[in-house]
Amino acid sequence: MPDNWGFVIAAYGLTAAVIGIYYRRLSRREREVEALRRSTAGRSRDRSTAMRSREPSRTAHPRPEPGSRPPLP
């Protein structure tokens, strides 16, 4: 067992490096998403108020009540 300690330490070191790199990647992507969210916040706010000012579209045929339809064979 004492012969393998070098490999054990190398495995822990490699794992720590991979987790560190992955954490940096997640942090960078979080900043990108936050920047994108801030840049589109003004546009989406203007669009949402414009969409709310219009009346919703109506379908040509209203849907029947669920109890009024005959059951399927």
pLDDT tens, per residue, the chain with 73 residues: 678 999 999 999 999 999 999 999 999 999 999 999 988 876 655 555 555 566 666 666 777 777 777 777 7
Report the pLDDT value the prediction gives residue 63, as an integer from 0 to 100.
72
The reported pTM is 0.49
| Domain edges within the chain | 1-37
Amino acid making up residue 67: G
Helix %, strand %, coil % of the chain (to 5): 75, 0, 25
φ, ψ for residue 60 (rounded to 5)? Answer: -70, -35
